[in-house]
Structure 1
Amino acid sequence: MKPQPTVLFVRSPSQDRAAISMLRDSGLTVHEFDGVRGLECALGDYDTDCVVTNCEVENPDGTQYLGGLTLLDRLRRSHPELPVVLFAEVTNGDIAREAYSRDVFGYVPSTVNDAHQRLLAQVDAAVASSPARQRANKRKQLNEAVRLVNQALVRSQSRMDIERDVTAVLAGTDRYSDACTVTCQHDRPVVRALGSQRDSVTITAPEPLRRAESEDRLVVADLDPAALGDDTDALETDCVRVLAVPLVYDGTSYGVLGVYADRVDIFDTEEQDTFREVGHNIALAIDASQTKDALRQRTTELEQQKERLRELAQIISHELRNPLQAAMGRVELLATEHAAEEFDAIQRSHTRMSFLIDNLMQIARQGGRQYTVEPVALSDVMADAWTTVDTDRSTIEIDCTETVLADSSRLCQLAENFFRFATEQGNTGTITITDTSGGFALEHDGPPLEVGNEGPFELYYASTDEGVGLHLAVIREIAHGHGWEITLSNESTGRVRLDIADVQRPSANGR
Structure 2
Amino acid sequence: MKPQPTVLFVRSASQDRAAISFLRDSGLTVHEVEGVRDLECALGDYDTDCVVTNCEVANPDGTQYLGGLTVIERLQRNHSEVPVVLLAEVTNGDIAREAYSRDVFGYVPGTVDDAHQRLLAQVDAAVASSPARQRASKRKQLNEAVRLVNQALVRSQSRMDIERDVTAVLAGTSRYTEACTVTCQGDRPVIRTLGSQRGRVTITAPEPLVRAGSAERLVVADIDQAAVGDRTDALETDCVRVLAVPLVYDGTSYGVLAVYADRIDIFDTEEQDTFREVGHNIALAIDASHTKDALQQRTTELERQKERLRELAQIISHELRNPLQAAMGRVELLAEATDAEEFDAIQRSHTRMSFLIDDLMEIARQGERQYTAEPVSLSDVLAEAWNAIDTGTSTVEIDCTGTVLADRSRLCQLAENFFRLATDRGESVRITVADTADGFFLEHDGRPLDGDSQGPFELSYGSTDEGAGLHLAVIREIARGHGWDISLGDGSSGRVRLDVIGVEQPSAKADRTSD
Decide: shared fold, TM above 0.5: yes
Q: What's the CA shift for 1:73?
A: 0.5
Give 1:293 deviation, angstroms: 1.5
Task: Name the structure 1 match of 2:17.
Answer: 17
Q: Which residue pairs with 1:402 in the alignment?
A: 403
Structure 1, residues 388-422: CA drift from partner, whole Å, max 9, x if none? 33345656758546351x44442332132234334
Residue correspondence of structure 1 range 13-412 to structure 2 within 5 A = 13=13, 15-367=15-367, 369-378=368-377, 381-382=381-382, 385-386=385-386, 388-392=388-392, 394=395, 399-400=400-401, 402=403, 404=405, 406-412=406-412
- 1:465–1:168: structure 2 CA closer, same or farther, 3 Å change rule? closer
| TM-score computed with the length of structure 1 as normaliser | 0.89
Aligned partners of 1:55 and 1:89 also within 8 Å: yes
2:452 aligned residue: 454
TM-score by length of 2: 0.88
Give a deviation string over 1:138-163, Cα, whole Å, max 9, x none: 11111111111111112111111111
Residue type matched to 2:389 in 1?
V
Paired residues of 1:243 and 1:260 also in contact (CA < 8 A) = yes
Question: Partner of 2:56: helix, strand, or coil?
Answer: coil
CA distance in 2, matches of 1:289, 1:345: 59
Contact 2:178 2:195 in 1 (8 A): yes
What secondary structure does 1:470 align onto?
A: helix
Counterparts of 1:130 and 1:103, CA distance in 2: 14
Q: Answer yes or no: is the 8 Å Cα contact 1:184–1:255 preserved in 2.
A: yes
Question: How far is 1:77 from its partner?
Answer: 1.0
Alignment check: 8 A CA contact 1:450 1:463 kept: no
Partners of 2:183 and 2:432 in 1: CA distance: 67
The 10-residue stretch of structure 1 (386-395 or 343-352) with the greater mean CA deviation from structure 2:
386-395
Question: Counterpart of 2:477?
Answer: 477
What amino acid is aligned across from residue 164 of structure 1 in structure 2?
R
Counterpart residue identity of residue 447, structure 1: D
SS in 1 for 2:370: coil
1:68: Cα distance to partner?
1.1
CA change 1:401–1:123 in 2 (3 A) is same
Unaligned residue ranges in structure 2 (runs of 5+): none
Residues 302-358 of structure 1, C-alpha deviation per residue, up to 9 Å, x if partnerless? 222232233233333334334433432332222122101221122112211221222
Q: Contact 2:8–2:30 at 8 Å: present in 1 too?
A: yes
Relative to structure 2, which stretch is displaced further, 332-341 or 358-367?
358-367
Alpha-carbon shift at residue 96 of structure 1 (Å): 2.0
CA distance in 2, matches of 1:116, 1:302: 81
Question: Matched residues in 2 for 1:326 and 1:297: separation?
Answer: 44
What CA deviation, in whole Å up to 9, does each residue of 1:169-203 have, x standing for no partner? 11000011111111223532221101010122122
Using the TM superposition, name which of 217-226 and 371-380 deviates more.
371-380
Note closer, same or farther for the CA distance 1:463–1:82 as it changes in structure 2 (3 Å cut).
Answer: closer
Do the aligned partners of 1:489 and 1:498 also contact (CA within 8 Å) in 2? yes
- Measured after TM superposition, the shift of residue 434 of structure 1 is 6.0
Question: How much has 1:48 moved relative to structure 2?
Answer: 0.4
Range 377-386 or range 424-433, more displaced: 424-433
Q: Percent identity?
A: 77
Equivalent residue letter for 1:418: F
Quote how far apart the aligned CAs of 1:492 are.
4.4
2: distance between equivalents of 1:312 and 1:73? 73
The alpha-carbon distance between structure 1 residues 161 and 16, as it changes in their structure 2 partners (threshold 3 A), is: closer
Where 2:307 maps in the other structure, the secondary structure is: helix
CA drift of 1:478 comes to 1.0
Q: Would you say the 8 A contact 1:448–1:494 is kept in 2? A: no
SS for the counterpart of 2:445 is coil
Contact 1:10-1:34 at 8 Å conserved across structures: yes
